[in-house]
């Protein structure tokens, strides 16, 4: 089970492979944009979510989030990226959402795929072995 910290770590590795410098990488206890990276004059903002709690003391630790929790997490990630798009108008930037690559998360994302395309949000998918794939909607690339 991937925690948010696992997703952030794997996403950062992939983002660095793509030539970005990581400016900020937060853990679940910190507030703010999970990952901020720069390449040339473009800033990449990434909001990440896990598939289980990162807190060892949580009753949810090691247990997969249920469908309602996944909906809530993805809703918050979408809201965060939408706010960034609004705030950063006129700047060179990209936004992405990083999620565990599993059927439950993909099902929800597939329901809002057209919205992701219109907003230019890139999906960063992290498998349980922490390998990473990217979904670029439309012609939106890093």
- Number of structural domains, the chain? 1
Q: What is the pLDDT of residues 109-137, one digit of tens each?
A: 999 999 999 999 999 999 999 999 999 87
In a domain, 141, yes or no: no
- Residue 84 CA to residue 80 CA, distance in Å, equals 6
Domain containing residue 37: CATH number: 3.40.1350
Q: Is residue 142 part of a domain?
A: no
Which DSSP string do the residues of 57-100 spell out, in sequence order? TSTTBTS---HHHHHHHHHHHHHHHHHHHHHTTTS-EEEEEEEE
> What global pTM score does this model have?
0.94
Residue 140 included in any domain: no
CB atoms within 10 A of CB 137: 16
pLDDT in tens, 17-70: 999 999 999 988 899 999 999 999 999 999 999 999 877 777 777 888 999 999
DSSP code, position 107: H
Kindly state whether residue 116 falls inside one of the protein's structural domains.
Answer: yes
Please check whether residue 11 lies inside any domain of the structure. Answer: yes
* Residue 37 structural domain: 4-135
């Amino acid at each position: 089970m991937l925690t948010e910290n696992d997703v952030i770590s794997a996403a950062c590795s992939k983002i660095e492979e793509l030539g970005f410098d990581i400016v900020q990488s937060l853990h679940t206890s910190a507030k703010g944009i999970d990952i901020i990276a720069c390449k040339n004059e473009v800033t990449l903002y990434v909001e990440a979510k896990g598939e289980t709690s990162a807190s060892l003391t949580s009753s949810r630790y090691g247990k997969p989030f249920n469908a309602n929790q996944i909906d809530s997490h993805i809703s918050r990630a979408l809201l965060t990226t939408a706010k960034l798009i609004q705030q950063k108008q006129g700047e060179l930037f990209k936004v992405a959402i990083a999620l565990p690559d599993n059927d439950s998360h993909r099902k929800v994302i597939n329901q809002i795929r057209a919205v992701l395309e219109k907003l230019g949000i890139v999906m960063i998918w992290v498998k349980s072995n922490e390998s990473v794939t990217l979904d670029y909607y439309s012609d939106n690339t890093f």
